[in-house]
Amino acid sequence: MLKRGIYQHYKGNLYQVFYVVTHSETREKLVVYQCLYADYSMWTRPLEMFLEKVQLESGEVVSRFQLLQETD
């Protein structure tokens, strides 16, 4: 399961993950997180997308989000 904490997006910005929730209609797992810059807005993203790997222009494959610090 995804840990609560501070994550870094592969493009550099930081986000705080709060919960993994279930969509009431589709039963899809969604990550509830907050950007830690600009307007500090709250977002959701499908868990599968949050955990996926992305390919950079250089060809390197990296995690979309990387855990930096676990929180309670």
When pLDDT is averaged across residues 37-60 and rounded to a whole number, the result is 97
When pLDDT is averaged across residues 16-35 and rounded to a whole number, the result is 97
pTM for this prediction: 0.91
CATH topology of domain 5-70: SH3 type barrels. (2.30.30)
**Residue ranges of E strands in the chain:** 5-9, 14-22, 29-35, 42-46, 53-55, 61-63, 65-70
Residue 21's pLDDT band (boundaries 50, 70, 90)?
very high
